[in-house]
């Protein structure tokens, strides 16, 4: 089969069997919104997932901020969020277990990561302070000379 100079080397005809293969490999036109809808799922479900993600993010932030437990409020919030992470309850829609399932997160892996982070933080808090050499104590009190006093304070007037 001879081709003319003007004919493209990639041209195909309906009778050529190899052209059927090329025809099936043509790209399909798809809009970005159609592509991302397939990835994300139903657009109406997204607000719920965003809310679930916000709940998990807030729980992580509370866990990290309230770990030292310096105040009663911090201890109460830390205990509450720690119990929420540990719970395996699946009856409540916003339980940690259900949120992880909805967001395709491994709940056990996250719990393990939280426990490891907590252990590292507590170990750092319990380390003794570094020993510094003792300062030499001077028996004399530091005093300002008359010249230094005049620069820093206005002169005192004598009472009459």
Share of the chain above pLDDT 90, in %: 32
Q: Count the Cβ atoms, other than its own, within 10 Å of residue 64.
A: 15
Are the beta carbons of 77 and 66 closer than 8 angstroms?
Answer: yes
pLDDT tens column, 97-130: 999 999 989 999 999 999 999 999 888 877 665 5
Q: How many residues appear in the chain?
A: 160
Of 14-28, 51-65, 77-91, the one with minimum mean pLDDT is 14-28
CA distance 5 to 7: 6
Going by the DSSP 8-state scheme, the letter that residue 141 receives in this structure is: P
The confidence band for 83, taking pLDDT boundaries of 50, 70 and 90, is very high
CB 67 within 8 A of CB 121: yes
Rg of the chain (C-alpha set):
36
- pTM for the model stands at 0.52
Residues 6+ apart with CB under 8 A from 105: 56, 99
pLDDT of residue 109: 93
pLDDT > 60? residue 93: yes
Mean pLDDT along residues 81-91: 93
Q: Where are the domains of the chain?
A: 58-126
Instruction: Report the phi/psi class of residue 7: left, alpha or beta, with left for phi > 0 and alpha for psi in -120 to 50.
Output: beta
């Amino acid at each position: 089969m001879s081709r003319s100079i003007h004919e493209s080397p990639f041209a195909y005809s309906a009778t050529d069997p190899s052209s059927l293969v090329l025809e099936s490999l043509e790209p399909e036109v798809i809009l970005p919104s159609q592509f991302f809808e397939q990835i994300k799922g139903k657009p109406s479900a997204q607000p719920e997932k965003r809310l679930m993600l916000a709940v998990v993010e807030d729980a992580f932030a509370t866990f990290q901020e309230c770990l030292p437990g310096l105040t009663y409020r911090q201890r109460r919030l830390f205990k509450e969020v720690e119990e929420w992470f540990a719970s395996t309850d699946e009856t409540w829609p916003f339980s940690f277990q259900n949120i992880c399932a909805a967001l395709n997160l491994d709940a056990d892996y996250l719990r393990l990561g939280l426990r490891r982070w907590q252990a590292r933080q507590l170990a750092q808090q319990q380390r003794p302070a570094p020993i510094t050499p003792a300062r030499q104590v001077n028996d004399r009190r530091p005093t300002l000379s008359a010249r230094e006093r005049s620069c820093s304070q206005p002169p005192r007037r004598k009472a009459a």
